[in-house]
Amino acid sequence: MNEKTQKLLSVLKLQPVVPVLIIEDAKSAVPLARALVEGGLKAIEITLRTPAALDAIRAVSQEVEGAVTGAGTILNALHYEDAVEAGAQFIVSPGATGELLDVADDHEAAFLPGAATSSEIMGLLEEGYEVMKFFPAEQAGGAAYLKSLSSPFAGTLFCPTGGISLKNAHDYLSLPNVVCVGGSWVAPKDLVASGDWAGITKLAREAFELRG
């Protein structure tokens, strides 16, 4: 598990913000990913919330130089298998089940499981996971809640996602137990629909500079 943890951290430490994308049209995936990479956001999570998601993952993984393609909203083993087959290099889930943990053991792709309570965190620690997604971040208690977990779960790192924006991202990134945050604000629906890739690159660059 330590090798997989290091692989996951090498992805999450590429940037302070991982874009969380809901792609309605697979044709927009490649120019969108290129715009994000140009702005410094190389690790990109494409969620399996639309019929176009797997085609988008496949296109980005094959055609976008520099992109590290991930798949999100993975809810079961079939999702996991399909995402890996499409080219996902890391897998993100809003929670964790025995089925997901088992299938993760069978693949090289790094797995970021979700947790929102102390019991869920303890369960993942028992399985050897030291890096987790904290979801839904704002609704589950926000940065203050996550900060309170840093003492009892020293050494555990989180990627909070859910309700995070440019306005509150720093609240999370300043915490010692946060490795990065996930956010959708870097790819607004209106900019994607209009093909304003320069605008998205600008947002990506602002997000990339948050840690500094």
Task: Cite the active site residues.
Answer: 45, 133
Phi, then psi, of 72 in degrees rounded to 5:
-120, 175
Decide: 162 and 183 in contact? Cβ < 8 Å.
Answer: no
Please provide the DSSP assignment of 105-173 as one string: HT-SSEEE-EE-SHHHHHHHHHTT--EEEETTTTTTTHHHHHHHTTTTTTT-EEEEBSS--TTTHHHHH
Q: In angstroms, rounded to a whole number, what is the distance separating the alpha carbons of residues 46 and 30?
A: 12
Q: How many CA atoms lie within 13 A of 154 on its CB side?
A: 2
What does the angle CA 75 – CA 168 – CA 191 come to, to the nearest 5 degrees?
70
Residue 169 · residue 143 · CB < 8 Å: no
Measured between its terminal Cα atoms, the distance across the chain in Å is 30
